[in-house]
Chains A and B, each alone.
Chain A
């Protein structure tokens, strides 16, 4: 109790210390190490097949869509919420965007559509996702229905709505220009899908770490009542957060359109669980108030590297979900141990 009042040493390098601390909480460091070790092990076992530019590029591209969903999911889980609907909202938004682009093209075939149509398609896709997220947010924050139930409802309803719009079959004409530029395009060896996902992740990390919106996000997840008492608009913040996740799901839907060239209606039923798993592996607490975007990025790549690695070294791919599940349960267990250690103080 008699130690000097304040830690004057840290006054000197305030910025460094807090930035370092903020970016690399011990937790993130460990999951990052796990990722590096996994990558190194597969690289040593099959340097010819795993340690290639092509493998690295496909690894990144295949993770890009999930990464965009995961950035939004990080925000929601930090508020101690959950969003089970991201995969279905992705499909719904993709269908809306694809149909808008078809509708603007002669003969309903969007394959030859130009930049203008693609831009409108992008806006429509993101707006459709955001609208669905807004609905989630209003039901959760205003009507006070638990997020698990609201988004479980949206999970079914958004997919159903997408199938109603298309009559159950996929929209198959996607502008070739969009596919060439975003789906397969590269700049200096870096796929455009990856650049877009990285921009989203960096923006998310900036928003969460350095803005009032991000700080409020942590405060609400940590103690919503305290946040309310100091005058933070908790309801408005939650609505905005779910709308943000929806908008990102829309963007992910647009990326999926560009990459697969179809709306892949039946291909996203486990996106929600993959995104939640990635966020939790990355050290975000399901109890709220703790988490980083960087951690979630690492959390996306651990399952992705396992999948690629198992294929390359010839392990049956069925081992992949088992391995990911073990990592997931271990991550939550570590979080629990940490919380217990803290609360027993």
Chain B
């Protein structure tokens, strides 16, 4: 196994009286897809937002490349090379693919935008990801299908020499063929050496692309296991009960809310 690129150790996070994350350990390795699963309210989104610098953690360590780091804002996360693709994608419908990919970080030539250069770079990223579904990079995002929009959002995250990409339910709103394309893309990201975190409710997706499954149960990390060593039934048990056989949170008493 490769060295982890991102590691969380004993992370705690509360919102007022609500203790959302309890001593969570979480590991992301380069070249691997780590599926983050858990029921609604298990703390998946909170964990992602802690990594992305949107929520500060209460305690615990964040290690990037083995070095302890503090991520206090989304800009800190971006500087480290951590990018998040949120479920709502956050694309500007009226702008085209290139404009969206470079939004907020446009290349300039003197005072003006380097449109030709950005177009080239956008093409290159899409080509590197073997994206074949987009005919022209000057198409406005409004006219794209759900899968294409997801592709653009992912390509946008990859453009910045990112090293860790977190994807929040990228296939939730997609049909069969489009889910296929997005999963292929997720796999290619990992094959290109990135650490990929895939948040998903869909066991098919998880078992298709993930190398490791991390299951959150009521704010605790129930298990981090290689996908090959586990089964769907086991993962579903981990999600719903927090344990499965010798995996997971040991005694039921400790798993209080």
Contact = CB atoms under 8 A, between A and B. Distances in A.
- Main SS of the interface on chain A? helix
A71 interface: no
A289 B93 contact: yes
A327 to B, nearest CB: 23
B119 A289 contact: no
Contacts of A14: 115-116, 119-120
B110 to A, nearest CB: 10
Interface in B108-151: 108, 111-113, 115-116, 119-120, 123, 126-127, 130-138, 142-143
Contacts of A18: 115-116, 119, 138
Interface stretch (A57-65, A223-231, A272-280, A309-317): A223-231
A244 interface: no
Interface string B80-109: 000000100011111100010001111010
B104 A223 contact: no
A7 interface: yes
Contacts of A221: 94
Interface stretch (A29-37, A137-145, A170-178, A211-219): A211-219
B74 interface: yes
B126 A289 contact: no
A229 B136 contact: no
B177 interface: yes
B94 A229 contact: no
B118 to A, nearest CB: 10
Contacts of B137: 6-7
B75 interface: yes
Contacts, number: 106
A15, A225, A230, most chain B CB atoms within 10 A: A230
A100 B74 CA distance: 48
Contacts of A15: 115-116
Contacts of A288: 94
A211 B111 contact: yes
A223 B133 contact: no
A226 B137 CA distance: 19
Given A221-B94, A222-B93, A223-B90, A215 B106 contact: yes
- Main SS of the interface on chain B? loop
A290 interface: yes
B37 to A, nearest CB: 25
A5 interface: yes
Size band of the A side of the interface? 35 or more
Contacts of B92: 218-219, 222-223, 226-227, 289
A73 to B, nearest CB: 18
B111 A226 contact: no
Given A18-B119, A225-B90, A231-B74, A218 B95 contact: yes
B132 A342 contact: no
Contacts of A290: 94
A232 B102 CA distance: 12
Contacts of A230: 90, 103-105
A342 B142 contact: yes
B103 A219 contact: yes
Nearest to B156: A230
28 contacts: A5-B132, A6-B123, A6-B126, A6-B136, A6-B137, A7-B135, A7-B137, A10-B138, A11-B123, A14-B115, A14-B116, A15-B115, A18-B116, A18-B119, A211-B111, A211-B113, A215-B95, A219-B92, A219-B103, A226-B103, A227-B92, A229-B74, A229-B86, A231-B75, A289-B92, A289-B94, A290-B94, A342-B142
Given A215-B113, A222-B95, 11 more contacts: A1-B132, A5-B126, A5-B131, A7-B137, A11-B120, A14-B120, A21-B138, A215-B103, A231-B78, A342-B142, A343-B142
Interface of B: 74-75, 78, 86, 90-95, 99, 103-106, 108, 111-113, 115-116, 119-120, 123, 126-127, 130-138, 142-143, 177
Interface of A: 1-7, 10-11, 14-15, 17-18, 21, 206, 210-212, 215-216, 218-219, 221-223, 225-227, 229-232, 288-290, 342-343, 345
